[in-house]
Structure formats: C-alpha cells, structure tokens
Structure 1
Amino acid sequence: MTAGTAGALPVAGRAEVRRAAAGLVRADGRAFAGVLLLNALAALTGLAGPWLLGRIVDEVRAGGGAGAVDRMALGILVCSAAQLLLARWARYAGHRLGERALARVRERFVDRALALPAAVVERAGTGDLTTRGTADVTAVGATVRDVGPDLLICGVQALFLAGAVFALDPLFGAVAVLGLMPVWWALRWYLRSAREAYLAEGAATSQVAEVLAATADGARTVEAFRLAGRRIAASREALEVSRRTRMRTLFLRCVFFPVVELSYVVPVAGVLLVGGVLHTRGAVSVGVVVAGAVYLQQLVGPLDSVLMHVERLQSGGASFARVEGLAGVPAAGGSGAGVPADDRIDVAGARYAYDRGGEVLRGVDLTVRPGERLAVVGPSGAGKTTLSRLLAGVDAPTGGSVTVGGVPVAGLGPERLRRQVVLVTQEHHVFLGTVRDNLLIAEPAASDGELWDALEAVGAAGWVRELPDGLGTALGGDGVRPDGSQAQQLALARVVLADPHTLILDEATALLDPATARHTERALAAVLAGRTVIAIAHRLHTAHDADRVAVMEEGRLTELGTHEELVTAGGAYAALWSSWHGRSPSTPPADRAPGGTAERTHP
C-alpha cells in the first residue's frame, strides 16, 4: 500500500489488488465457474470448423464424393451455430457476473468512504476522493462489466486455438510460438511501465479536480482578494501535469499496438512455409496445413482482443488500485479504545501540529466536567478551532492526550463517538433528498413526531411547515434550496436527534441573525439541559453565560475561570470583554436581568 504525496489517500499495491479481485471471484464462485464452462464449450465447438475445412480439402484432393463434403459442410454450419449460441450465453452470464461484482465494488467504496476519518478527507482534499468515487469507479465498472468477461472469453478461445495448432502438428505450434515472441516482448515492455503511468494519470486527474473544486468553492474569496491570476496559474499547472501524464500513456499505446499488429502475420506465414516443406516430403496433408493456417488466423481475433483489453486492464487496474486504496486508511475508531467510564473530558499536555505548518497547540491542560458549559475564547489563530477538533475526535493530538471517561476520543468508533461528542461548525451541508432524509441521518429510527420536535427545538418547524410537502419536500438540486440560516437550523436539529453527551459548538449559529441565534441557542439549551456544552465563542455573551471561560492565546490556555473571576482578574479576558462592550470591565453588561442577576442562556 502506497500513499503517494503527503496527505494523499493511499493506493493499493499489486498484491492488494490481486486479493481484492480474487475476493470478487470467490464472492460469486459458482457463477464464475459457469461462465468458464460456457466459454470452454463455445471455444471447443469453434475448433470443429477449421478441422472440418481441412478434411474437406483432403477429401476433394482424394476425389471423394459430394455427399461426404456436404456432410462436413453441414457439420461446420451446426458447430458455428452452436458456438454462436454458447458464446452469446457465456457473454450474457459474464456480464451479469460483472454487474454483480461492480455492485460490490461500489458498495464497498461507499462504506469505506463514509468510514474515513474527517481529518484524512480534509488532508487529502475532496477532489481526490471525488475522482476515485466517479472516474475511477466508472473505469473499474467498465473493466469488471465489459473487459473482464470479454478477456475471459477471448482468453479461453485463444488457449483452445493454440492447443489445436499443437495437436495438428507440434512443429506448427513451435513456429506459432516463435512467431508470437515479438508480441510477448512488447507486452512485457508495456506492462513494466503502464501501471505507474496510469496511476500518475489518475493522480493528475484528481489534482485537476481538486484545483477546480477549490476555485469554485472559494469563488467569492478569489474575487474579493483578486486571486484570479493565481488560481488560473494553478489550474494551468495542474492541466499541464495532466497533459504530460496522458501523453505518456499515449506513447506507450502508440509503440505497443503497431508492434503487435505486425507480429500477427508472422505465425501464419511461418506455418504456411513450414507446412509447404512438410507437405512436399509427405509428412502432412494439405488439409492439415490449411487447418493450421486457419486456426492461427482465427487466433488473431481473440489474441488481439486480449491485448486490447490488457491495455484497458492496465487503466482499470490503476483505477482499481486507487479505489481499493481506501482500505489502507485506518477507519475512525480503529484502535478499539474501549467504552468511556463517564462523560468527563480530560486534556493533558495536548499538542498539535498540521502537516504543513508549525505547532498550533502547545501543551494544553483542561478538564471539562459532565454537564458543564464551557466557553473557549481568544483571538483568531489562538488554536480554538484546533482544540475543538481534538475534543470532537476529528484529529488526534500529536502529543499529550485527549480522553473522555479515560478513553482517547480519537479512538472511539463512529457510532459511539456520535453518541458521545458532536461538533457543530459554521459549515453545514444540505444533502440531496427530503427534509426527512436530512434529519434521519442523525437518527434513522426517529419517527416523524420526533423529527418535528427536533425542528421545533431549534426554531425551524415554522418554515418547514410552509414548504410544499413539509418533511417530504425535496431539498437541493431541483428542489427547495435552504439559505444559510435554515441549513444551520437543520444541522442543529440533527444534533438534537443525535442526543450526544457532549456538544461542541464552533460558532454554529454564526450565520443566524442575532435575534434568531439567541432564540435558537435558548431553545437548544432547553433540549440539551444537563449535557456538556463547549462553545468556541466570538460573541462574548456566550462566554458571559457559561459556567467557565477558557482563554486561548498562541496555542496555550492562559486563563480559566468564571466570567466574573476573569473580569476581576484584569487579564486578557477582561481586555476582550472591555473591547467587545466598548467600556470598562466594571460596567454591568447590557443583557443582565433586573436586580443584577445574569440571564442564563445556552452558549
């Protein structure tokens, strides 16, 4: 298993690809054996024609009657019809076998893709994963559905035809083998280079998709910062690399196929020359020479198809290696960390550094008690979001530990992690499907009543009821397109349905207007009462309402305490509070209730 460049998804090695292909065969072993049998019968009946043709030649030279010739001609006709029927039946069975194998490949790819840790997908880029799930899976589909059965049919035919030539006369077989040696040499040369060339072509195609996707997703940013020139240059560079890799595979084909085509003539000419010499010495009849030449001429068809499919097999094999490469990525929670003893979160000496940057977290120590509401504040780049990703198990610390109930958070399996900790960010995805489909992702067994309760909890029930079909309304594509605030509310409704022990909010209500955000936060607080809530906060009313506030600066936890304690301490948090309110830290906040009691709201 190879990974290529840093952060790229791995590519399966030759051994892994062979094992995966063998697994597909074993999964449908009886059908595969049936296809082999049908192909063998079709090839066997096809051998009768040239042999009977040679008998007809010998019969005519010997002065035989028309009746014998007619009977042998009828035999050729019957065998040809039988071969046609058996070949069609074999092809039909082979394509059905290929379709079932393709279905298994697609299902396995989807299962593996969904099990990928989020950090792996982010490092690799969506372009690579998208290309593997579309272009590569399509190429594998063509190979499994079309190339595989055709290669099997033609391979069996070629094997039987070669065996028939040896059966006629071993010397004819030796001449045929020698005449086809250039094909063997060309094939070996091609196979040595083709796999790596096609893998490079696939990687270059993924890079083109990644650049285009990044440019399209960040179109507004590109326009705002006048980065069009840079993005065009990056696109041209990716396209140039892709062009060079395609020219390499084209060169391989342009050398391979002409050599093969010229080599087909040599065995037939050799058998005719050697057969003529043997016939003049009385060693073989004319009919045997004719049969041998016809067998070799017939061998050109399946052999040519085999070699053509070998080229497609290299392309499909490279795609299969990329598709199977997902098996080399450890699934989230693959370490089998165990079951958390409780909901307490402990961060001990946590450090984290991204692949292409310096250390973002520098020895963070923090304990979050079950049921506590903790606000994490600090300037941009202080490491708040990175800390939230470690707490949610998206990334594992590069040093130190982050545990829940004594178990590493990053080691939890997907199902248990979803029940234990949920991270909600500003980025929310609306899936193609109905409102109901978008909510059932969080809890497949939820009833419509529970879905409405979740929507009501986050203030989304009103606009969902106004949709043409309510929960059954299609979203995205040709359906209704929710705006940013509605997408956030759907995401929060999924959180309510998931019912996690710990909720991490990384500015999850940033796209909502202040009034709607406060309403949503209060509603969500009522539903998640008693849960642990960690909020990455930029609106300091969130910090004011929290049980404790953690202040991050330059990757370190510099202050920890209640709002009142930190304001009184006069440190970094007090300065932030003063700046946010535009007054001295001692001034009472505007959202305190009469009598000086702070209104408790959800972070």
Structure 2
Amino acid sequence: MAGKRAEEETQVSATGARAALRTATGREAVRWVAAHCRTVPWLTGATVLATVAGAALEVLPVLLLGRVVDGVVAGESQSILVTVGALMVGAALLGVPAAAASTYLIGRLGTDLLARLREGAVRAVLAMPSARIEQVGRGDVLSRVGDDVAVLSKGIRTAVPTILSAGVLVAIATAGMFGLDWRLGLAGAGALPAYALALRWYLPRSAPLYRRQRVAQADRAQALISGLNGIDTVRAYRLESAFRERVTGESWRVRDLGIEVFRLFGRFVGRENRAEFVGLVLIIVVGYALLEADAATLGEVSAAPLLFHRLFNPLGSIMFTFDEAQKSGASLTRLVGALGEAAEGRLVGSTTASVDGRPVGGAVAAPVGGAVAGGVTPYPVTIEGLTFTYPGAEEPALRDVDLAIPAGGSLALVGATGAGKTTLAALVAGIGTPDAGSVRIGSTDLAELDEAGARALVSILTQETHVFSGPLSGDLRLAAPDATDAELMDALRTVGADRWVAALPGGLDTTVGEGGERLDVTKVAQIALARLVLGRSPVVVLDESTAEAGSQGAAELERAVRATYRGRTTLLVAHRLTQAMAADRIAVLDAGRVVELGTHEELVALGGRYARFWRAWREGG
C-alpha cells in the first residue's frame, strides 16, 4: 500500500492551485489599525504630538529665514536679526530630539500593533477548522504567520516612521506656504494634480501586483513544504524532477513579479519628479510676478521656493519607501484577512456534542480507569451516499460511498494510492464537508456540529504524529487537561509505553522533544495513541498510524492500536494488511468507490482485488 503522503500529493496535483485564505480590503485594514490605536490613547496622542512638533520645528527656520531677508531689506536693527537667528538655531536644535522622539514613538506604536496582530493571526489560524487548513494548504498559512509578519515588521521599522513623519512635514510645509501668501500657496498646490495623477496611475497597479507577489511566495512555500513532507514518497516514485520543476517554476514566478514591481516603481519615480518640477516652476514664476507687482516681500518670495524645495526630501522619502510600504500594506491586508477568516469560519452549532439526545462532551474528561471499553460508550457510524470533490478537481475523490460500522466494531479501508482512503477517513473525522450524502454518529449528522462538537465524538490519528517540547505529562494532557498522573500511566500502560516511561530520568516530568529526551518513531506513536486513549471519544479514525515504524516497532504498535480502539467504533486506513486482518470487516476502495466489502476470509475466498493484494503482501513478506 502507498502511504498517506502519496495520496495527499495525488489530491494536490488533481486540484491544482489551492483556495487561499481571505485577504482583507484596504479599508478593513485601516479600520483595524484605527481600532487598535484607540486602545492605547496616550501612546497614540504622544506619537501625534511629537510628530507634529518635529515637523513644525523643521519648517520654522525656513520661515524665519524669510523674516531675516525682509529685516535686512528694511534696514532693521542688528538685535532683531540676532534674535531671529537665535530662534532659528533653537528650532534646529530642538528639531533633532523631536524627530528622534517621533521616530521612537511611531516604532513603539507599530511594534505594539504588530505584536497584537501576530498574536491574533496565530490564534486565528489555530482556531480555524481543520477542513479549511487542508483546503488552503500549509504554504498559505505559514506565509501569513511567517513571511507576512516579517515583511510587516520590517515596514514598521523603516517605511512606516518615514512615511508618517514625512507626510506630516509635507502638510505643515504646505500650510506654511499659504501662510506666506495664499497665491504662493496656490502656486505650490499647482503641483498637486501632477502628484495625484502619478499616484492615481501607480496605486491601482501596485496594490494588486504586491498581493500577487505575496500569493506567489505562498505558492512557492506550499510547493517546498509538500515536497519535503512527502520526500520518502517522492523518492520512492522517482518524482524528484517533477517536484524540482514545480519549485523552480514557482520561484521564477516570484522573481518575475519582483522585476515587474521594480519596473513599475521606476516609472512612478519619473512621474513624481515631473510633479516636483511643475510645482517649483510655478512658485518661481508666481513669486517673480508678485515681487514685480510689489504684492509680496522679497522674504516671502525667497522663503516660498525654499519651503517647496524642503518638500523634496520628505516626498522623496515617501516615494523611495513607498515600495516597502506597499509590501507592508499587502501583508497587513493578508493578516487582517486571516483574523476575519477565523470569525467567518465559526460554524453554528453546539460545542457539546450529543448522540441520540445524550451529551458526550463530558466523556472527554472522564477518568481513564483502565481498559478503554470500561469507560466509553461506543456509537454506530453510518455513511450514506457520500460524495466529495476537491476544489478544482474534475472527478470526485469519493462517489456514493455507503458503509456502516456497528457500535464498538471496526472497519479497515484498503486500496491503491488515490483510491480515496484518506479522504473518507477525514470526512468521517469531521474534516471537510461532503458534496452529497452524510456521516452520522448514532443519529447525529456530523455536518450539524461545529469542530469542537465533532472532536468530542471522533478522534483521528495519522502517521504525522508530533511530540511537543516540554514535560511528557504536559504532552499527554493535551488530550485530557485534568487527568491525574495515575490516569496518564494507565493510558501509557494500555499502549505498552509504561515501562520505558517509568525508566525515564524524571518519569512523567521528563522533558521530551526539542531540547529534551529524544524519542524514536515507535515511542512517539505510542504517546499519540495514549493521547487517543485519554481523549475517550466514542469513535476513532486511525489513518496509517503505524506506517512510519520499522517492522519490529510496527508489530508492537499494532498491538497498541488494537488495545486503544478496543470497545470503540473504529475506522482504520490500513497500511499493513495485518492491520486489515484484525478489523471486523474490510472495505476495498478503487477510484472513490467501494468495490469489495467483507471479512478477511470472505475477501480472500472471493478472489478479487483484496485477494490480489493479499497474495502480493505474502509474497513480498
């Protein structure tokens, strides 16, 4: 039998591009930022005050310079000129710490915003339904909580302080020109249409391009992850070239989009330079006309172009950091979109599952008390007309599947790669929604429950088990937070792990995982099975849970698996036919349909597909 990862790769190739997580609109992102700023009014107020003060102190020396020119022309006393000069020096000296304070406070506010956004995005991803995570792929999810956070973090450190400070400076300098003479102000404002046209040309083209760039990076991450996670299957089927070409293709797409972004930005810079030229020419011409008509002083006419020229640096800063700001904006909309996705993904339904009118949520926290059968009430599983098609796929992965597992019984799924075993197991576990048909636990349709309710009824264990870094007892209590040490040891005893756990330096308190005790594949699988015991759901789905172990470890784990599901209603995706033999009945899948159903003896005697599998298994063994 081929492994779960091979079937997943078949599904990905059949579906093509995965549906991405939601991306918020720019308006939604701005509303989120504004709402965050309102939660820290003192920090927001201090940031605004420091930024405005710093910008005003930068503009003041230019205005005072005009006053000096007028004073010299009018022959005023030297003391007045000295006073104005002292004010200019004072404004310049105070402007430095004000600008520094502004940069610090903007960074502080942005860091606080980023921390909340990152925490919220991670929490939202962890709260998403498993079916949604499977649909979008881990590449998109990881790129949001990884790459997008990194891009936004860089933008908050560099682009955001620059743009905010420069924007305030532009506004104050423009107000200063109107303060000198309204006609000089209007002349400077004559450049605004050119700036507006440049932005109007750039923004509609740049924002979608940056979003496409981020999506392309997510697709590249997904291609890498899928290849690395399924590396054994890739090597077994000699698919290295195909996966290398896929990653190369996605990388070239990211590169091409990066070049397109750079070219677009270069054209934008040219339009901004033309706007600056238009504004400066208008101010000089209008100033000369006013001076000739004796409608303005020489100081005013001299200060106006200096003020407008003073705008070149902040406008240039905005322009040259706008590229980074656009990237940050694109990442912000993706992260805020992930927050909104979690809210939209919440299903209406009771979080306390019930079967035949009886709640089963309480069974999750019930004491283990020895054998599984002694504390869990099993319920039958009924699958009727189940049909499921992956997004973008032309053919359904499952077609009109009808199966039934009696309460406390077991059913093994057998079939070639891509037959639909993993898809059927996921739907029975409540991961995904079928196109047609239903999965019922007792009389309860899983589609009527939210994910918490489904988890109370059905537990799923795949070959991709994981041990979290920390005390072993904490790892086990993920499934039963209130379990005592005695209950943890009972669960470990059920799966045959109590002896090696007792031999650990600290027993249940031993640190395992990264930075702690290293556990082999068999021990990791036993811990996962012990969590399944502690979870105490009435239905369990085992998707090739012993596939990664060696032959000796697999035999040991198969005994542990049988002890784990004894007394529960069980669906097994059989990687080894010895697992299928142990089940009450076996269903053979082919192209999403059940083609054979019966006990091991019945199917061998039938001489069909299962019998051929069995002969191949015995000869290979």
TM bucket (normalised to shorter chain) is 0.7 to 0.9
Q: CA deviation at 1:400?
A: 0.8
1:340 to 2:354 alignment: yes
Whole-angstrom distance in 2 between the partners of 1:562 and 1:233: 44
Q: Which residue, out of 156, 160, 179, partners 1:167?
A: 179
Instruction: Give the superposition deviation at 1:563.
Output: 6.4
What is the rounded CA distance, in whole Å, between the counterparts of 1:88 and 1:363 in structure 2? 68
Deviates more, 1:224-233 or 1:134-143: 224-233
1:423 aligns with one of 460, 467, 478: 460
Aligned equivalent of 1:182: 194
2:437 is the alignment partner of 1:400:
yes
Distance change in 2, residues 1:246/1:469 (3 Å): farther
- How many angstroms apart in 2 are the aligned matches of 1:228 and 1:547? 39
> Residue 302 of structure 2 corresponds to which residue in structure 1?
290
Q: Which of 106-115 and 326-335 deviates more? A: 326-335
Q: Which amino acid aligns with 2:96?
A: L
Contact 2:525–2:557 (CA under 8 A) maintained in structure 1: no
Amino acid aligned to 2:544: E
1: CA distance, partners of 2:205 / 2:481: 48
Unmatched segments (≥5 aa) in structure 2: 1-15, 357-378
Q: Match of 1:358?
A: 395
Cross-structure match for 2:282: 270
Give the whole-Å Cα distance in 1 for the aligned partners of 2:201 and 2:504. Answer: 63
Measured in 1, the distance between the counterparts of 2:434 and 2:230 equals 29
State the Cα distance separating 1:465 from its structure 2 match: 5.1
Deviations 1:247-298 (A, max 9, x none): 1101011111233245435434432342233223221111112222332222
* SS of equivalent to 1:503: strand
My pick for the range that moved more, 284-293 or 305-314, is 305-314
C-alpha separation between the residues in 1 aligned to 2:534 and 2:345?
22
Equivalent of 1:13 in 12, 25, 28: 25
My pick for the range that moved more, 141-150 or 415-424, is 141-150
How far residue 389 of structure 1 moved from its aligned partner, in angstroms, is 1.1
For the structure 1 residues 512 and 262, does the alpha-carbon distance in structure 2 shift closer, same or farther, using more than 3 Å as the test?
Answer: same
What is residue 120 of structure 2 aligned with on the other side?
108
Match of 2:548 in 1: 511
**Paired letter, 2:324:** R
Q: CA RMSD in A?
A: 3.4
Question: Displacement of 1:99 after TM fit?
Answer: 1.0
Aligned mates of 2:486, 2:336 — CA distance in 1? 41
Cα deviation for residue 26 of structure 1 reads: 3.6
1:226 is aligned with what amino acid?
Answer: R
Question: Greater shift after overlay, 435-444 or 571-580?
Answer: 571-580
1:213 aligned residue: 225
Deviations 1:47-97, CA, capped at 9 Å, x for gaps: 432222222222222222221112112222333333333333332222211
Task: Give the equivalent residue in structure 2 for 1:41.
Answer: 53
Summarize the Cα distance change of 1:83–1:440 in structure 2 as closer, same or farther, 3 Å threshold. Answer: farther
Structure 1 residue 318: Cα displacement: 1.6
User: CA–CA distance in 2 between the matches of 1:571 and 1:446?
Assistant: 48
Distance change >3 Å, CA 243–CA 551, structure 1 → 2: closer
Q: 1:411 to 1:317 in 2, by over 3 A?
A: farther
Superposed displacement of residue 392, structure 1: 0.1
In the alignment, structure 1 residue 226 sits paired with structure 2 residue 238 = yes
Measure the CA separation in 2 of the matches of 1:146 and 1:452: 53
Q: Give 2:360's aligned residue.
A: none
For residues 33 and 376 of structure 1, do their structure 2 counterparts lie closer, same or farther at Cα, with a shift above 3 Å needed? Answer: same
Q: Which residue of 1 aligns with 2:537?
A: 500
Read off the aligned partner of 2:125 and give its amino acid letter.
A
Corresponding residue number in structure 2 for 1:198: 210
CA distance in 2 between partners of 1:558 and 1:393 (Å): 24
Q: Residue 248 of structure 1 is aligned with which of 247, 260, 264?
A: 260
8 Å CA contact 2:588, 2:595 repeated in 1:
yes
Once the two structures are overlaid, the 10-residue window that deviates more, 91-100 or 519-528, is: 519-528
Identity value in percent: 33
Which range moved further: 455-464 or 347-356? 455-464
1:74 aligned residue: 86
* Structure 1 residues 461-472: aligned runs within 5 Å: 461-464=498-501
- Compute the displacement of 1:166 (Å): 0.8
Moved more, 355-364 or 473-482: 473-482
Distance 1:563 1:271, change over 3 A: closer
Out of 148, 171, 183, the position equivalent to 2:160 is: 148
**How high is the TM-score relative to the length of structure 1?**
0.85
Q: 3-state SS of the aligned residue for 1:7?
A: coil
* Candidates 392, 409, 414, aligned match of 1:378: 414
Structure 2: how far apart are the matches of 1:219 and 1:39?
53
User: 2: distance between equivalents of 1:228 and 1:527?
Assistant: 37
| Separation in structure 1 between the aligned mates of residue 400 and residue 240 of structure 2, nearest angstrom | 39
- TM-score, normalised relative to structure 2: 0.82
Quote the Cα distance in structure 1 between the aligned partners of 2:293 and 2:591.
96
218-227 or 318-327, which moves further after superposition? 218-227
CA spacing shift, 1:389–1:202, aligned 2, 3 Å: same
Cα drift, residue 373 of structure 1: 2.3
Aligned to 1:257: 269
Question: Where does 1:525-536 land on structure 2 (aligned, <5 Å)?
Answer: 530-536=567-573
1:97 is aligned to: 109
Equivalent-residue separation in structure 1 for 2:284 and 2:614 (angstroms):
100
Report 1:549-588 matches (<5 A): 549-550=586-587, 552=589, 555-557=592-594, 566=602, 570=606, 575=611, 579=615
Name structure 1 gaps, 5 residues minimum: 584-603
Aligned equivalent of 1:50: 62
Tell me, what secondary structure is at the counterpart of 2:354?
coil
1:165 and 1:477, CA in 2 relative to 1: closer, same or farther beyond 3 A?
same
Match of 1:320 in 2: 332
Q: Distance in 2 between matches of 1:282 and 1:511?
A: 91
User: How much does 1:539 deviate?
Assistant: 4.5
Inter-partner Cα distance in structure 1 for 2:184 and 2:617? 97
Does the aligned pair in 1 maintain the 2:120–2:339 contact within 8 Å? no
Q: Secondary structure at the match of 1:482?
A: coil
Q: Secondary structure at the match of 2:208?
A: helix
SS in 2 for 1:322: helix
Please say if residues 332 and 410 of structure 1, whose CA atoms lie closer than 8 Å, have aligned partners that are also in contact: no
Q: 1:459 aligns with which of 488, 496, 509?
A: 496
Q: Larger relative CO (CA 8 A, sep 6+): 1 or 2?
A: 2
Distance 1:37 1:444, change over 3 A: farther
Residues 152-188 of structure 1: per-residue CA shift (max 9 Å, x gap):
2222221111011011111111111223443322222
Please give the secondary structure, in 1, of the residue aligned with 2:190: helix
Partner of 1:587: none
CA–CA distance in 1 between the matches of 2:598 and 2:461? 24
Deviations 1:518-565 (A, max 9, x none): 55455565566543332233545545544555554554446666667x
Residues 54, 391 of structure 1: alpha-carbon distance in 2 compared, 3 angstrom cutoff: same
CA contact (8 A) 1:39 1:156 kept: yes
**Displacement of 1:241 after TM fit?**
1.6
Alpha carbons 2:64, 2:84 under 8 Å: kept: yes
The one-character-per-residue Cα deviations of 1:1-44 (angstroms, maximum 9, x if unpaired) are xxx95533333333433333333334434532332233223333
Aligned length: 578
How big is the shift at 1:516? 4.7
CA distance in structure 2 between the partners assigned to 1:46 and 1:379 by the alignment: 75
Paired position in structure 1 for 2:525: 488
Measure the CA separation in 1 of the matches of 2:325 and 2:472: 42
By how many angstroms is 1:489 displaced? Answer: 1.8
Paired residue type of 2:140: D
